[in-house]
Amino acid sequence: MSIVAIVSKYADESSKIAEFTALRLGYRLVTMDDLIKTAAKDYNIPEKDLAQVTRDLTLWQHLFRKKKLKLVSLLEHKLCELMADDGIVFCGYLGYPIFKEISHALKVLILADPQTGKSAAADSAKQPDLLSNDGIAGWFEKIYQMDMEDPKLYDLTLNLLQMDISEAGDIIINTLKQKRFEPMTYSMNCMCNLELACQVKTSLVERLGDVEVKSHDGTIYVYSKAFKKGGRKAAKEVKEDIMRMPGVNYVEVYRERAPFDEIHI
C-alpha cells in the first residue's frame, strides 16, 4: 500500500484532512503526537524532550544543538519504521527528506486561510508548548533548509480557501489511485535503505553534528565536514562503529556534503 504525507503549517485543518483520508482509505493515521508518543515509548526517552525539540524553536539557538539533532533523527527513524507498515497517512512537519525519496509516497501540501494562523498564534501564546503556524514553517526551514510552502516540494498542493475538507480528501484519494504511486521493489528497497541510513545517522549525529547519511543495500556513505577537523582517525573510528551495526556491509566516509539529488537523510 502507498503512503500519504500531509504537510502543512495549518495543523488543525491538515489533521482533519488526514483523518478523513485515512478513514476512507482504511490506512493508519499517524500524527506528530502519535510519532512522539511511540518514539518516547520505544526509545525510552521522556515524551516531553521529544515534544520540546519539535515545538520550541528558540531552544535551537542555544547549547545542546547536537542532542536536539539526535532527537529529530530518532523521530525520523521511528517514522521510517512506522512507514514499513502497510498504508499510512502521516500528518506533520517532520520527515520530508524521507518522503521525497519514496516514489510511492504522495506528498501533499495544505494551504489555508492565513487568518487561521493568527488565531493559532494567539492559541500558542496561551499554550507555549504549541508552535504557531509560522513557528511550524520556521522549524521546517531551520531543520531542512527548505521553504515548507514551496509547491515544488510536493506532488499535490491543496488550498482550503478553494475547497472544503472532504473535497481535499477526495482529491488525495483519487490522486493516490495513479499507477505512479504504487509500491515497487525499488521503492520498498528505498524504505529499507532510508531506515538503515536513519539508524546510522542517529548513532553519529551527537558526535559529528551536521552529518548526512546515504545507504544502499548495506553500503553506508557518511558525509560530514567534521572529518576535516578530526582527520583520518575520526573517520576510521566512525567506520569501525558503523560496521558493527546489523545490516551494514561496507562504509565510506566523505568530508563534504552529499552530492545534491542523491539519497541521503
User: Does 20 help bind other proteins (rule: CB under 8 A)?
Assistant: no
State in angstroms the smallest separation of the CB of 179 from other proteins: 5
User: Among the candidate windows 78-86, 97-105, 115-123, 141-149, which touches other proteins by CB under 8 A?
Assistant: 97-105
CB of 215 to other proteins, least distance (A): 12
Q: Does 261 engage in binding with other proteins (CB under 8 A)?
A: yes
103 binds other proteins (CB under 8 A): yes
Q: Which is nearer to other proteins, 119 or 189 (CB)?
A: 189
250 forms part of the interface with other proteins (CB under 8 A)? no
Q: Which stretch binds other proteins (CB under 8 A): 7-15, 21-29, 96-104, 250-258?
A: 96-104
> What is the smallest separation between the CB atom of 107 and other proteins, expressed in angstroms?
10
For other proteins, the binding residues in 137-196 under the rule CB under 8 A are 178-182, 184-187, 189-190
Give the shortest CB-217-to-other proteins separation in angstroms: 7
The residues, any chain, with a CB within 8 Å of residue 90's CB and separated by 6 or more, are 3, 4, 5, 6, 18, 30, 31, 35, 79, 82, 83, 99
Angle at 44 between CA 51 and CA 221, to 5 degrees: 85
Of 106, 81, 254, 98, give the one whose Cα is nearest residue 190.
98
CB of 21 to other proteins, least distance (A): 20
Q: How far is the CB of 20 from other proteins (least distance, A)?
A: 25
Binding footprint of other proteins on the chain (CB under 8 A): 100-103, 178-182, 184-187, 189-190, 216-217, 261
